[in-house]
Amino acid sequence: MFCIAFTLQNAMYSQSSEEMSEIKGGTYIPLYGRDSAVVKVNDFFMDKYPVTNKQYQAFVIKYPEWQKSKAKKLFVDGTYLTNWKNDTELNDSENPNSPITYVSWFSARKYCECQGKRLPTVDEWEYVAMADEDIADARVKETYNQQILSWYEAPRTNTYEVGRNPKNYWGVYDLHGLVWEWTSDFNSVLITGESRKDVDKDSNLFCGAAAVGATDLMNYAAFMRYAFRGSISARYGIKNLGFRCVKDVAIE
């Protein structure tokens, strides 16, 4: 149920209520806690599905500066939309309802901004992703980690349509088992001595992948996510890396 109190808010979120799920905030201890501190997550809305090829196609048509031949190389690398036929058309082999991939952090962030949304933070993404179909925090279940690891071992990547995996407790689909997803602060975990932080002045475009400070050494699925984030930079476009957007709950 969405927390919409006023007519103006109802008008603002009428479309979002169909496309997004309301996430009731709370607290949790992430894999890489701040000295094992409890992290507070505020209420927010999250897209029910990853952004699709069809949706991103509409975006680049409306904002041609993000088409593959026109996007600034400062913001994308050579793999950007490499699976597209041209600036506005997908390759014939691509499914319009599959998640968009081969997009950079910069382009994903801009897409969300143009929708009046934003990329989720790592904490927001992990908070929602710890749910299974029945409970908000399924990490207490032995089968939870095993199921996610089995998905990671045989990823569906970008060849499957969104929505094929069951929705979780929050009504959100495909956080696991389809593609990895960008977060706004994917660089937020920088591990001293084990990361590029000590040697790379461009560290704001990277994140660390070391195990220092981890709060749950048995959560291998989460380790894999942090390790993956630690191996990429903001310009990268990758076959199995997509994104979804979130939106703040309006303050009454």
The CATH number covering residue 96 comes to 3.90.1580.10
pTM for the model stands at 0.80
Burial class (CB in 10 A: 0-12, 13-18, 19+), 227: middle
CA angle 137, 138, 144 (to 5 degrees): 150
* Mean pLDDT, residues 112-124: 96
Q: What band does 232 get if pLDDT is binned at 50, 70 and 90? A: confident
Residue 102 belongs to a domain = yes
Q: CA triplet 227, 229, 235: central angle to 5 degrees?
A: 145
Q: Which of 119, 127, 118 is nearest to 38 (CA)?
A: 127
Q: Which domain holds residue 225?
A: 7-247
Dist CA 238 CA 68 (whole Å): 14
How much is the pLDDT for 156? 61
Alpha carbon distance 111, 8 (integer Å): 24
Residue 92 lies in a domain: yes
pLDDT average, residue stretch 158-162 = 79
Pair 87, 110: CB distance under 8 Å: no
Q: In the chain, how many domains are there? A: 1
Report the pLDDT value the prediction gives residue 11, as an integer from 0 to 100.
Answer: 33
Strand residues in 9-152 grouped as ranges (E): 20-23, 26-28, 39-41, 44-47
In-domain check, residue 2: no
Overall residue count recorded for the chain in this entry: 252
Q: Where are the beta strands (DSSP E) in 53-169?
A: none
Q: For residue 43, what pLDDT band results from cuts at 50, 70 and 90?
A: very high
Examine residue 222 and state whether it is found in any structural domain, yes or no.
yes
- Residue 206: pLDDT band (50, 70, 90) is very low
Q: How many helices (H) and strands (E) does the chain have?
A: 7, 7
Residue 69 DSSP symbol: T
Please report whether residue 84 resides in a domain: yes
Q: What is the pLDDT of residue 145?
A: 80
Rounded average pLDDT over 212-227: 58
Choose the weakest-confidence range: 48-57, 224-233, 237-246.
224-233
Q: Is residue 252 part of a domain?
A: no
Token pair belonging to 185: 């602060």
Query: Would you place residue 17 in the very low, low, confident or very high pLDDT band (cuts 50, 70, 90)?
Result: low
Residue 221 counted as domain residue: yes
